[in-house]
């Protein structure tokens, strides 16, 4: 892997930090950064590669959502860029390998919409158990069907959660509060919360669950995770939810099991193929099947989640710009650093190779620089060392550090 070496950067005053936020990022994000004294420009639309290359000149911090693509070419034209904030969960729109080569840190908001997904799942479990969607649709067609047949309480039923990560585990807690019993299956060894019971296999979970809810991640092995075989193994008249990844479920098999009545209802928020743009037609085998709730991938889309994402990612960008903190970075080695304005700080991003730390310290020692604190972390091909020193480091020392063959990026922070 080859790295792009930048000129060493000396302290940038807050009022000189330039921020560009695209794609209608929640106003709280811009407000947070403005309150820190940064110059913040906001734009509502995504930018094409050429537009971005023009707009990114002189920008230190860039905020995007899912439709602005960060390519190698964009990064080559952004020598001042320190960090990119993806104000969303996914980072597929960013060439992450290229950001590492250019020493640009990437942050996102992996947890901000967890609660929103959980609340939708809870709403859908109750809606399916009470056949709310069917009854409401009938009423809209003028049909009054007052009947208890096929409607159930969820209290005392068993919810089987497949994938006990951030969302699955939070769903577990709230479902128990509603009186459901919870069982879960995860490929990793996860701590059971509350009274939830861990299953050793997915079949063990399917054999006891009245409701099965998928919350797995998008690793390649999860394509086709839930098909005819797993649906057959579900209890008769059970309910099924997928708010995780569309590719995990065989929707044609699901339709068959819904039509046969083996599965009594389903709620899907994600699909193997989703329309690319707003207004594009939605095609699925599941359209028109009774007691099926279909939603357009909105599990995490609430105003609260957007607001939280705005604040969360903005604070990560600020912490990196100001103190060099890389806690929860998507790409950089993680250092959770105290922000200590009394000290001077050198943040050195380098190619992870043996001996870099020793070389840095030799250079500092040779110039009589007193090290007051130091932290190193590595992640894959990148190393990151942050050194607090007692006095501002001179340009000659910075030049020497920047000239090391392993240096990707060097900043003096205060
Ligand atoms: N519908 C939406 O709008 C929306 C919003 C946010 C997240 N999501 C999706 O929800 C899913 C869960 O998100 P999260 O934040 O909880 O992720 P997470 O990474 O915290 O949890 C995923 C869990 O699934 C487990 N897992 C992976 N493959 C498995 C398998 N085959 N069997 C059992 N367990 C398996 C992992 O070990 C992990 O514990 C992700 O796919 C995410 O993209 C959807």
CA separation for the pair 265, 127 (Å, rounded): 10
Residue 235's pLDDT band (boundaries 50, 70, 90)?
Answer: very high
Spacing, Cα 282 to ligand 1 middle (Å):
24
Pairing of the two strands 105-107 and 83-86 = parallel
Pairing of the two strands 382-389 and 344-351 = antiparallel
Residue-level pLDDT at 30: 97
Spacing, Cα 278 to ligand 1 middle (Å):
25
Residue the block writes with tokens 């979970």: 205
Residue-level pLDDT at 13: 85
Half-sphere exposure of 310 (CA within 13 A, CB side): 22
Q: Which helix (H) or strand (E) holds 214?
A: strand 211-214
Lowest mean pLDDT among 1-15, 121-135, 343-357, 393-407: 1-15
274 is catalytic: yes
Over residues 147-153, mean pLDDT: 95
Q: Does any ligand 1 atom lie closer than 6 A to the CB of residue 8?
A: no
CA separation for the pair 57, 154 (Å, rounded): 56
Residue-level pLDDT at 276: 76
Q: Is the pLDDT of residue 340 over 70?
A: no
Q: Is the pLDDT of residue 3 over 50?
A: no
Catalytic residue among 7, 153, 259, 274: 274
255 is catalytic: no
CA separation for the pair 356, 261 (Å, rounded): 64
Residue-level pLDDT at 343: 75
CA separation for the pair 399, 81 (Å, rounded): 20
Three-state DSSP state, 264:
strand
What would the pLDDT profile of 81-100 be if each residue is shown by its tens digit?
999 999 998 898 999 999 99
- Residues in CB range of 165: below 8 A, 6 or more apart: 186, 190, 215, 217
Q: Does any ligand 1 atom lie closer than 6 A to the CB of residue 217?
A: yes
- Residues in CB range of 319: below 8 A, 6 or more apart: 325, 327, 339
CA separation for the pair 74, 98 (Å, rounded): 10
Catalytic residue among 43, 130, 262, 297: 297
What would the pLDDT profile of 12-27 be if each residue is shown by its tens digit?
788 999 999 999 999 9
What would the pLDDT profile of 43-69 be if each residue is shown by its tens digit?
998 999 999 999 999 999 999 998 899
Q: Does any ligand 1 atom lie closer than 6 A to the CB of residue 205?
A: no
* Average pLDDT score, the chain: 94
Task: Give just the sign of the alpha carbon dihedral 212, 218, 221, 223.
Answer: positive
Closest C-alpha residue for ligand 1 atom 11: 244
């Amino acid at each position: 892997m080859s790295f792009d070496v930048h000129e060493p950067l000396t302290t940038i005053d807050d009022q000189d930090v330039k921020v560009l936020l695209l794609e209608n990022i929640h106003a709280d994000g811009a407000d947070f950064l403005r309150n820190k004294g940064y110059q913040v420009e906001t734009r509502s639309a995504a930018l094409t590669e050429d537009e971005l290359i023009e707009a990114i000149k002189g920008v230190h911090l860039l905020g995007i959502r899912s439709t602005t693509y960060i390519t190698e070419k964009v990064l080559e034209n952004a020598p001042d860029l320190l960090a990119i904030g993806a104000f969303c969960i996914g980072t597929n729109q960013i060439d992450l390998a290229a950001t590492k080569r250019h020493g640009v840190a990437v942050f996102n908001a992996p947890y901000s919409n967890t609660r929103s997904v959980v609340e939708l799942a809870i709403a859908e479990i109750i809606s399916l158990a009470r056949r709310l969607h069917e009854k409401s649709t009938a009423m809209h067609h003028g049909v009054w069907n007052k009947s208890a047949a096929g409607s159930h309480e969820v209290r005392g039923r068993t919810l089987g959660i497949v994938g006990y990560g951030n969302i699955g585990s939070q769903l577990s807690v709230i479902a128990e509060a509603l009186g459901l019993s919870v069982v879960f299956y995860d490929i990793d060894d996860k701590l059971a919360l509350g009274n939830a019971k861990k299953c050793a296999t997915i079949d063990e979970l399917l054999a006891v669950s009245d409701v099965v809810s998928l919350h797995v991640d998008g690793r390649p092995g999860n394509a086709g995770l839930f098909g005819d075989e797993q649906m057959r193994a579900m209890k008769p008249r059970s309910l099924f939810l997928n708010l995780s990844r569309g590719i995990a479920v065989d929707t044609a098999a699901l339709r068959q099991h819904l039509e046969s009545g083996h599965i009594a209802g389903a709620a899907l928020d994600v699909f193997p193929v989703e329309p690319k743009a707003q207004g594009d037609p939605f095609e699925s085998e599941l359209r028109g099947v009774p007691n099926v709730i279909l939603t357009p991938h909105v599990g995490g889309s609430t105003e609260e989640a957007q607001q939280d994402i705005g604040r969360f990612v903005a604070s990560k960008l600020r912490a990196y710009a100001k103190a060099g903190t890389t806690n929860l970075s998507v790409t950089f080695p993680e250092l959770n650093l105290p922000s200590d304005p009394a000290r001077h700080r050198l943040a050195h991003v380098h190619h992870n190779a043996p001996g870099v730390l020793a070389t840095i310290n030799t250079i500092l020692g040779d110039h009589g620089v007193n090290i007051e604190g130091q932290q190193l972390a590595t992640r894959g091909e990148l190393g990151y060392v942050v050194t607090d020193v007692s006095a501002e480091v001179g340009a000659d020392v910075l030049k020497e550090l920047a000239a090391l063959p392993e240096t990707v990026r060097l900043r003096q922070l205060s």
